[in-house]
Amino acid sequence: MGSSSSNLNTIPNSQELMQETGFSAAHLLRLYERFEFLDKDNKGHLRPEDFEAVQELSTNPIGDIIIGSFFSPGQETVDFPSFVRILAHFRPAEKNRTRDGAQPEPANSSTGKLKFAFQLYDRDRDGKISREELLQVLRAMLEMQVTEEQLESMAERAIQEADLDEDDAISFDEFKKSLEKVNIDHKMSIHFMK
């Protein structure tokens, strides 16, 4: 793993990253170790295969989508800063502390989290979840015994529920509205990143 000797100095731009993502030094260090661990050949970046090597991810029904979310369009690799920036979405939001105001919208705000969730569906990044996009995710998440017809009617229904402007797709605002009852910060946070 080669991580035992690493400290904060080995991470490039660590201060900026900490500023930007709000991770503590310890977290950053640990994420860096994990990053190095996943990066088997010390390339300095991760490829989808490296993610696939994580055993549990391959049994996650939407594992592909999760992995995919780390790679911005057109890129086949993700470097450490981007890796951390993605993970910053899952940091629990601070309750009482106000941020310095430099960043208007930190990744771990509930809007940031929602945006991340939205992008999981919105594969083509056109700002809308189409019926097909929804269906893709549904198909992956439901057991095989559910018929395609049932899936479709569920997707149909979901769109009808959320679709306010009747364009047969869910925009981000509609998405946000449909989830307004859900405690996003609770749902989309990972406790150990506190």
Partner 1 sequence: MEPFVFLGNKSGASWMTFALILCCAVGTCELQEPKPTVPNDFQTVSPTQDDINKPQVFPEKEKTNLPMFTLHYSRIQVPFEFTMWVLLASFAKIGFNIYQKVTIWIPESCLLIGIGLIVGAIMHSVKEEPPAVLSSNVFFLYMLPPIVLDSGYFMPTRPFFENVGTVLWYAVVGTLWNSIGIGLSLFAICQFEVFGVQDINLQENLLFASIISAVDPVAALNVFDDVGVNEQMYIVIFGEGLFNDAVTVVLYSMFAFMTDMPVVESIDVFLGVARFFVVGIGGTLFGFLFGFVAAFTSRFTNKVREIEPLFIFMFSYLSYLVAELFAISSVMAIIVCAITMKYYVEENVSQRSCTTIRHVVKMLATISETLIFFFLGVVTITTEHEWNWAYILFTLLFAFMWRGLGILVLTQIVNPFRTIQLSLRDQFGLAYGGLRGAICFALVFTLPESTNRRNLFVTASIAIIIFTVAVQGISIRPIVECIKIRRTNKDLNTINVEIHTRTMEHVICGIEDLCGQWGHYYWKDKYSRFNQFHPPHKERKVQNKLKRLPVFIFSLRFKKFNDRVLRRILLRDNRAESSIVSLYKRLELQNAIELLDTPMGDISAAPSLVSLQDEKKEASRPKKKFLAADIKKMHNILSKNMYKIRHRTMVSKYNLPEDSRTREILIRRHASIRRSLRAGSFREQPAQSIAKSQKYYSLQPGGNLDSAFALRRQSHAVSELEHLQSSGASPRSSSRSLVPLKRLNTIEEPTAASEHPGGRAGSGSRGRKPPVPAPRRRSSRRAEEEEENNVVSEHPAGGEEQDPPPPQGWVPENRDPRENEAEDPLLRPSSRRPQRSQTP
Q: Which residues in 37-96 contact partner 1 (CB under 8 A)?
A: 37-38, 40-44, 47-64, 66-69, 71-77, 79, 87, 90
Buried b vs exposed e over 38-57: b needs ≥16 C-beta within 10 Å? Answer: ebeeeeeebbeebbeeeeee
Using the contact rule CB under 8 A, the part of the chain among 15-23, 96-104, 180-188 near partner 1 is: 180-188
Phi, psi of 71 (to 5 degrees): -110, 120
Using the contact rule CB under 8 A, the part of the chain among 14-22, 97-105, 125-133 near partner 1 is: 125-133
Q: Does 124 bind partner 1 (CB under 8 A)?
A: yes
Residues 131-160 that bind partner 1 (CB under 8 A): 131-146, 148, 150-154, 156-158, 160
Closer Cβ to partner 1, 18 or 104, answer by number: 18
Q: Minimum CB separation from partner 1 for residue 67, in Å?
A: 4
Q: Does 20 bind partner 1 (CB under 8 A)?
A: no
